[in-house]
Structures are given as C-alpha cells and as structure tokens.
Amino acid sequence: MQETTMNKPLRRKDRELTVAEALRVINESDFGVMSTVDAQGVPYGVPIHFALEGNKLYFHGTASEDSRRALNLQVNDRVSICFVRHCRVVQDELSTDYACTIVSGRVCLAEGEDKAKCINALIRRFAPDNSPERNAKELTESLHATKWWMVEIEKVTGKCRGKF
C-alpha cells in the first residue's frame, strides 16, 4: 500500500505561500470544500461555511446521522478542505490567476465548551451585526437540526499565481 502523500512537497515552489498568507486565503474565502472518503475509499466533497480561530476550523451541518458526510466521518475522521480566494482566467496566457489553500486535519463533533466556541465563532464571522437576541432566537430554532463540528488542523499549504 502506498504511504500518505500528505507531506509531499509542493511542486511549484515559486507559487508557494507562507503559512500566514495561506491562512489569509482561508479568512478571505466565502466557503471551503471539505472532502471525506467512505469505507470503500470513494471521495465526497461538500461545501462548508466555516470560521477559523487559532488552529481550529469550525463548521456546522445537518444533525442527520445518515448524511453522507456523517457516515464518512464515522469511518475516517481525516479531511481535506480546499479554499479559493480568487480565480481569474488570463485568456492571453491560457492560464489562471488564483490563490488557494488546502488544509488537512481531523474532524470531531464540537461538544460542551468546544460547541460554544464553534457557535460563537460562526456567529462572529457570519452574523456580527445581528443583535444577541436575534442570534439566540435563530440558534434556539435551529439547534435540533444542526451538529457543530471542528477540524483540528494538521497541515496548511497554499499557493498562488498572479497578484495576491
């Protein structure tokens, strides 16, 4: 069996971003695409809204135990998440300018104090101007249908072409 490619060096070193720049791509992205695999190794990618705080990415999703993502995470808690900050086709060069980041890590349900951190991080990112009362009302109405997750980041890599 082939060993992991997780630590394979970036081929285009001239396009490599620093960790700080890669984290900036994440913070400036509207969403990420999280990839999981099932028990047979079949990949599945799903867009997520997220909040990055420290070495953790927080996101939420359906509370359904039989969603594809939940089933995959029961078998393998490792994920890869791709973020793209901008993408612009450069027609004359038959190329594309972009900035992207890939995060590798492990996912677990956010419970207790971690759940509160997750919820508050997502509120700060997506509803900073709402009143605390409105956010509390929305949470109360949707808590039964939502699970809160966190990714412990193990590796961050980023690259870009063009201005960043």
Q: For the domain that residue 145 is a member of, what is the CATH number?
A: 2.30.110.10
* Tokens, residue 121: 């991080």
Which pLDDT score, from 0 to 100, does residue 23 have? Answer: 95
For residues 44 and 89, the model is more confident at 44
Range of the domain at 72: 13-161
Residue 8 lies in a domain: no
How would residue 61 be classed by pLDDT, with cut points 50, 70 and 90? Answer: confident
pLDDT at 142 over 90: no
Residue 6 lies in a domain: no
Return d(Cα 127, Cα 122) in angstroms, integer: 8
Are 70 and 64 in contact, with CB atoms under 8 Å apart? Answer: yes
For residues 126 and 34, the model is more confident at 34
pLDDT at 107 over 70: yes
Cα radius of gyration rounded to whole Å, the chain: 17
DSSP conformation letters of 87-100: EEEEGGGTEEEEEE
pLDDT at 17 over 90: yes
Which pLDDT score, from 0 to 100, does residue 156 have? Answer: 96
Domains identified in the chain, total number: 1
Residue 122 lies in a domain: yes
Which pLDDT score, from 0 to 100, does residue 139 have? Answer: 75
Mean per-residue pLDDT, 100-105: 96
Given the structure tokens 């995060």, which residue do they identify? 103
Long-range Cβ contact pairs of 72-76 (< 8 A, separation 24 or more): 72/36, 72/37, 72/38, 72/44, 73/36, 73/107, 75/37, 75/38, 75/39, 76/36, 76/37
Which pLDDT score, from 0 to 100, does residue 1 have? Answer: 65
Beta-carbon contacts of residue 157 (< 8 Å; ≥ 6 apart): 10, 16, 17, 22, 101, 102
For residue range 23-55, list pLDDT tens digits in order.
Answer: 999 999 999 999 999 999 999 999 999 999 999
Average pLDDT, the chain: 88
Mean per-residue pLDDT, 45-68: 91
Furthest-apart CA pair in the chain: how many Å?
54
Are 105 and 154 in contact, with CB atoms under 8 Å apart? Answer: yes
